[in-house]
Amino acid sequence: MTTKPVFLYDTTLRDGTQGEGFQLSGLDKLRIAKRLDEFGIDYIEGGWPGSNPKDIEFFREAKKLKLTHAKLAAFGSTRRADTAVGDDPQVRLLLEAETPVVTIFGKSWELQVTEVLRTTVEENQAMIRDTVAHLVKHGREVIYDAEHFFDGYKDSPTHALATLQAAADGGASCLVLCDTNGGTLPTEIVEICKAVRTALPNTAMGIHTHNDCELAVANAIAAIGAGATQVQGTINGYGERTGNCNLTSVIPILQLKMDMTVVPHLEQLRDLSYFVDDVSNNPHFARAAFIGRTAFAHKGGMHVNAVQKLARSYEHIVPGSVGNTQNILVSELSGQSNILIKAAELGIPLEKGSPQASSILQRVKELENDGYSYEAAGGSLELLIRRELGSYRKTFDITEYHTSFRQYRDGHPPVCEATVKLNVDGTPELTVAEGHGVINSLDLALRKALLAFYPEISGVSLVDYKVRILDGHDATAAKTRVLIVSTDGTSTWGTVGVSDNIIEASWLALVDGIDLFLQAKK
């Protein structure tokens, strides 16, 4: 990995999942890891090997990921007190994860050592030193997270620094100072970071901050100004309690405000942010700095008049530099850059400002106004572009579909049934299928109807299904967005459907998922 002014360490897949309401499946974690790598993140922390079934699955499947830039890290702790490092099962699991990087945390606060671990400061330092050295001996790059470092330093600088020295003596590549409780101020961050650089000038220093005082980003930037060369955080600031340092704020600050190039394509930042939100089934935070929907929105008459003449009169950066757009609230939000990028990926010539681009943009605006979102549904967006440009090839025509749910009084299991009527090149087909639910029945019936015409769809499976209520105040009449992820075993693609009928929304996403696959086969 080439030298950079600051290395980006993402812990969305581990620390982020400790946040309330933020949950990821094993597939979700793999999809996000791939996207983080493509964006240019340097380190991706996958989780704690062996701690739960999802992390076991992730590290097993992650061995197959072909990351082009990022290093994958497994996370764990130092060996247990009074236990030989080679006998500690948790340390063994870290090695069995077979990641090039292992990040371990240890106690920096004497209070934690004596009252939580209930061991001596000498044994705590040995635990740190032994574990780091053992992992280094087995060929791992070891990053040491000094838990509660700032609280520990404020209580006893000598003790806190001694724990860092133990990690450095073991061979840690980076000493990460953690504001675990999130209660440290930027002025304290600077003072303590400078003290660490003076005491341990030969080992890289990193920073890991929490947002309990709404200072996680400010504290991370303060630490970088004081010599930190690694910053840890999560996409959109997800994390325990009030969250972690938000990388979607730190990254543009470093690149645009501090002239530190940390990612190759900063203009993809907003897409990454929305992708993580959509995959985790969380609403986007409209007022997020840099990438939120309102980050460059102007409503007041004086402001609107000014920015129409000179955008930087009320905008601190060019919105497009982070993939966002200026939003004049008397008009519609622009988003043509995403469409142009997607068209380029498909090999479809499309010029900015062309009638075709304008037509696609207008259609996207109309659908987004209806509740569609294409950030994690690139398959549906591809179909939309092809339809608007006339390059779409109809693979089948749906004539009719019908679903039913029957519950019997005698205790017989309920029956879910679906009927699909379609035709392919004028040849009709009618099929019926039973499934474990209405949507599963529809999925099975659609595939059954198409199988005679397209036997290759037997290799396509549905791997994820998410539902979001868009306007909950309408109760059971609320509009619903359904996101489906399909795979053929080699690649995955997302499709989306929106309706005030959850069955129709699901059907639209299902049909798009199959249709996209067949576009390349017909």
Tokens coding 9? 């360490």
> Is the pLDDT assigned to residue 375 strictly greater than 70?
no
Q: What is the DSSP letter of 100?
A: S
Q: Find the range with the poorest average confidence among 2-11, 96-105, 357-366.
A: 357-366
pLDDT at 378: 81
> Is the pLDDT assigned to residue 340 strictly greater than 50?
yes
Q: Scan for tokens 């939003």, then name that residue.
A: 327
DSSP for 151-188 reads HHHHH-HHHHHHHHHHHHHHT-SEEEEEETTS---HHH
Instruction: Tell whether the torsion through CA atoms of 390, 393, 397 and 403 is positive or negative.
Output: negative
pLDDT at 329: 44
pLDDT at 358: 83
Highest mean pLDDT among 109-123, 202-216, 307-321: 202-216
Mean pLDDT of 297-322: 76
Q: What is the pLDDT of residues 245-275, one digit of tens each?
A: 999 999 999 999 999 999 999 999 999 999 9
Helix-helix angle 26-39:269-279, to 10 degrees: 180
For the entire predicted model, the pTM comes to: 0.68
Helix, strand or coil, per DSSP, at residue 437 = coil
> Is the pLDDT assigned to residue 308 strictly greater than 80?
no
How would CATH label the architecture of 7-264?
Answer: Alpha-Beta Barrel (3.20)
pLDDT at 116: 87
Total residues belonging to the chain: 522
> Is the pLDDT assigned to residue 54 strictly greater than 50?
yes
Evaluate whether 61 touches 67 at the Cβ level (below 8 Å): no
pLDDT at 334: 40
pLDDT at 331: 28
- Helices and strands per DSSP (H, E), number in the chain: 17, 16
pLDDT range class, residue 160, cuts 50, 70, 90? very high
- Say which CATH topology domain 286-334 has: H-NS DNA Binding Protein (4.10.430)
pLDDT at 37: 96
Maximum CA pair distance of the chain? 82
Cβ count near 98 (within 10 Å)? 14
pLDDT at 333: 39
Domain coordinates of the chain in residue numbers? 7-264, 286-334
pLDDT at 352: 74
Q: 334-372 b/e with 16+ CB inside 10 Å = b? A: bbbbbbbbbbeeeeeebeeeeebbeebbeebeebeeebb
Nearest by Cα to 88 from 76, 98, 99: 76
pLDDT range class, residue 477, cuts 50, 70, 90? low
